């Protein structure tokens, strides 16, 4: 069996968090009026890789997210994964006068 580490690719451990929000990538692509194939071609990727990113099967590393945000003309933060609610910083609720 070939060790994936030996080919220079790092595999994300199964179940580890993604760097992107899959639904946000799909939404931004559709909002830009692009097909998976068109987005893939403009980024030098395969359509299958875009499909896997949108379904959460493959990770989109930060450098790819930056390129996708530029191509989709949307802020990078839209595509980035959001931390789970229990890991977000707590903001005290302000009392209204």
With 0.75 as the threshold, say if the pTM is over it: no
**Quick check: is 5 in a domain?**
no
Angle CA 3–22–46, to nearest 5: 55
Domain count, the chain: 1
Q: Which residue range(s) make up the domain with 42?
A: 17-78
Contact, 26 vs 78, CB < 8 A? Answer: no
Round the average pLDDT of the chain to a whole number and report it: 83
Query: Measured between alpha carbons, how far apart are the two ends of the chain, in Å?
Result: 67
Instruction: Say which CATH number the domain at 60 has.
Output: 1.10.260.40
- What are 44-74's pLDDT values in tens digits? 999 999 999 999 999 999 999 999 999 999 9
Sign of CA pseudo-dihedral 79, 83, 60, 37: negative
């Amino acid at each position: 069996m070939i060790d994936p580490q030996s080919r220079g690719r790092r595999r994300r451990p199964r179940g580890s968090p993604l760097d992107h929000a899959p639904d946000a990538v799909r939404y931004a692509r559709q909002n830009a009026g692009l097909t998976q194939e068109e987005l893939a071609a403009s980024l030098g990727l395969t359509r299958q890789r875009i499909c896997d990113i949108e379904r959460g099967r493959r990770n989109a590393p930060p450098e790819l997210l930056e390129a996708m945000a530029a191509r989709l003309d949307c802020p990078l933060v839209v595509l980035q994964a959001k931390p789970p609610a229990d890991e977000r910083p707590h903001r005290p609720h302000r009392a209204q006068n």
